[in-house]
Structure formats: C-alpha cells, structure tokens
Structure 1
Amino acid sequence: MISARSAARWHWKNPSVIPGFGLTLGFTLAYLTLIILIPLAALGWRSAALGWFDFFRLITDARTLGALKVSFSTALIAAVVNVVFGVITAWVLVRYDFPGRRIVDAIVDLPFAIPTAVAGIALTALYAPNGLIGSFLTPLGIKVAYTPLGIVIALIAIGLPFVVRTVQPVMQEISKEVEEAAASLGANRFQTIFRVILPGLVPAILTGFALALARGIGEYGSVIFIAGNIPFVSEIAPLLIVIRLEEFDYGSATAIATIMLIISFLMLLLINVIQAWSRRRFGYEQ
C-alpha cells in the first residue's frame, strides 16, 4: 500500500486553481518540438550526413574560423559593455525622478521596435568616414565603419534593452531602506553598491548578459551595413552562411550553422551554471 506521503512525491506540482495542465503542457511540448527541436534536429541530421572528415574540413576553413572569431568576439565585447551601461541606465530610471524620464524609458525600447536594417543604415550613415560622427573620428585615425569596432557599436545598440529590461524590475524590488540601513551601519557608497545592491542583481545581470550575447551572435540586419563584410576583417558568420547558400554550397552553410549552434549552446550553458551558483551563493531568487 502506497502511503499518502509517497504518493504526494509523484505529483510534479501542486494542483493549479486554473484547470488544464495536461492540455497546456501538451501544447507547450508540441510547440517547442515543431518550432525549435525539429529544425535543430534537421540541422544536426544534415551535418551528420557530411561525415566527420568533411565537417571538420569545412569548419576549420580559414575564412570560416575568421568569421566565427569576429561574430563571437564582437558579441562578447558588446554584451560586457551592455552589462555595465545597462545596469547604470536601469539604476537611473529606477532611483531618480527627472523631467523626461518616461521619454528616456521609452527610448530604451526603440531597438526592439525599429527594423534592424534601419538601425544598420543609420549607424553606417553616422560612422562612415564622411558621416556625421565619422568625419570627426577619421582625422584622429579612428575608423569605425567597416571594422570590428563598428560591429561592436551596432551590437551595443541592439543589445542594451535586453540588459536594462532584465535588471530594471529586480532593481525596483530593492527597497531604499536597504541602502539606508547599510549607510546607518557605516557602509560608504562603494560598499553599499558592491556588497549590498549588486549581489542581489547578479542573477538578473547574468540573464541580461546571456540575452544580449545570444542576440549579438545571431545578429545580421544591423551589422552587415556597418561591417563592410571584409573577409578575415569584418565578415560575420551569419553573413558567411548566406554567402555559402547563394553559392549553393549547402554543406558549408550547414557546418557553419552547426558549429555556431554548438558554441552558443555551450556558452549559454556556462552562463546558466554561473547564474544558478550565484543564486545559491547570495540566496536570491528571481
């Protein structure tokens, strides 16, 4: 006879007030399977059909390695920059009340709304050698457009909202009384920020970082205009996939897409592990 205590262990979750768990779970699994798992499985199947030798040869091509290096390095740099300025922006929007705050808050979401191609054209017009900003930087020997620096700037522009919108709600839950209590106990501003406030924001910051990084790795529209697409200099992996498809070289396109998927998965897995550790370490749950 199974005791009530043992039987309770078989329940995944306490029953919800709203019925329909089985139906909604089935719909969720079907949706994820059709939209995500089946396309990824097809990509893996196509890559497996190449054979290990051909797959390794395609992903170790010098141009492929150069494009992967540009994509992942610029996305990583942009995500780190967005973490710093995203946290500062969220802090200003949460902790200070100033004229035009709602307008600034709305501007943060603009990269979500405007087409990425529009953002790319606008950035190119600004940072090209004869552009509004580029014309001042070129005499100083600083070239932005058609370089990896231009790619980083484009990825910063489209990735900032991911950090701000992830950190902002968590920051709003931190009461000002916490800061006042830290100050009353003798903590200076530096200690209050780094030992009281930031530990509670670490999981949210890591989530924003992961979202900005993932968006940057796969970004195409806002980058191709300002990148210049110079092989071994500013050519990104998504563009190289398109080039291989236009050349009807489906094997190379599949191999590049697969290695991007594998690297992205490993990076996000590492971030999730660090995020889980930070939650246990600081005792905060999102």
Structure 2
Amino acid sequence: MRPVLLSLGPVSIYSWGFLLALGTLLGGWGAVSLARRSGWEQPEDLLDVGVGAVLAGVLGSRLNYLLLYKPQEFLRRPGIFFQFSDGGLVFYGGLLAGIVAGGWLARRRNLRFWDTGDILVPFLAAGYGLVRIGCFLNGCCYGRVSQVPWAVVMPQLGDNLPRHPVQLYAAVMGMLLGWLLFRLYQRRLFSGAVFLIGIAGGAVERFIEDFFRDTLMYTSTLTVAQVVSAGLFLVALILYFWRKEYLIKQQLKEGKLSNDPTRN
C-alpha cells in the first residue's frame, strides 16, 4: 500500500486526498463542459454546487463513521473527526450530506434540483471510482479474507492474510456507472431520471461491493450497508416512476414545459 503518494520535505501528499481532489477537479471540469454543450446559461455555477456537495459528502461520511463505529471515543476526543488517515468514512452519510448540501447550493444559484443532479451524478460516480483507488493505496475499506489469485495483503492490519482488493472492484464499478450515466444523459431522458438512476446504481454497486468487503454485519448474510442499499434502491425506483408520472401530468395540464432545463 502507499498511503503517502509523495513527500516534498516536510509536506506529505496523501494518496486518498490527492485522488479526492483530482476527482473533484476533473468532475467539475467535465460537468461544466457538458453544461456548456447542453445550453446552460451559467454553467460555472455547477462547479460551486459540485465542489460543495463533495466537501459536504466527505464531512458527512466522516461523521456517520464516527457515530456508527466510534461514538464513545468521538465524544471523548472530538478532534479525531479531522484524522482522516484512518480511512474512517461511511458512504451513505456522505451521500445524504452531499444531496442536502448540493440541493441547498443549487437553490441559492437558482438552479433546478433535478436537472443539477442529472448533470453532476455521472461525474460524481466516476469520481467515487477514483477515490476508491485512493482507499486501496491507503489500505482502508479492505476486503474479506480470500484465496483468489489476485488477493492482496493489507500490511497495516498485521495479519498477513490475503484479501479481496474490494477497493479496486468498487473503483471499476464506480467508473462504469459514471460512463453509463453519461451516456444516459446524452439520451435526453426526463428531468431527474439520470440522477435517480445514479442513486439506484450507487445502491446496487454498494450492495455488490459488500459481498467482498470486511465490514459490519446486520444479519448472518447481509451487512448494514446492504440493508440500507436495498432500501435506497427501492426509494430511488419509486421516485423515478413518481417523477416520470408527475412530469407527464404537468405536460398534459400545462402543455409544453419550459425549454430552459436549467433555471426556475
């Protein structure tokens, strides 16, 4: 593993943080470029929303981890919140915080929530894939013990046991999901469709990932995250069909919807 990507004198550049920053920058650039091609009036506003959502997601996932796994220690030493070197993050805490912060920032920029989510979610999914490579280099979020030929040993665990490189599985799935969502966005589906498909796809990704991950179990066969993933998938599916039906009724009631997909 390589938690420190590069050391320049007293300054250390950490792999996880570097890939998070790289994913945020590339994702922001991609979203703004796509918005320009799609005719958005002020595509630069997306950069503020996207970066804010990512930062809120990191903080939310860290808080969720500490409340779930280390509540007593967190109460005694609140400063551990900023010790990201232990890799303590929980995906769904970050997802919730990111959606709330992104929605709030979009509203402040007079951007429609659903359309903003549609254009950002492909790049967020691909960025998630990059961050998972950072998790692999950091040695966190490791997999279950396995004898597959490509199993790896996590030195920081000190047990010398081969494990699934589940971080790399997640990286591939995240990038594939990002590519799929990007292609769906180009098909001009109804407002909110790509965003909700992205949420459902993220739930499926995490459900699959946890079959190979060494993590907290909810039952003898399912992890806590898998139970949450199943619930989130159902919610996203229900919202997808509700949103589609709602827009059809609006079209029938009002005629044609606004031609400007980006502003209220």
TM-score (norm 1): 0.27
Greater helix share, structure number = 1
TM-score (norm 2): 0.29
Larger radius of gyration: 1
Greater strand share, structure number = 2
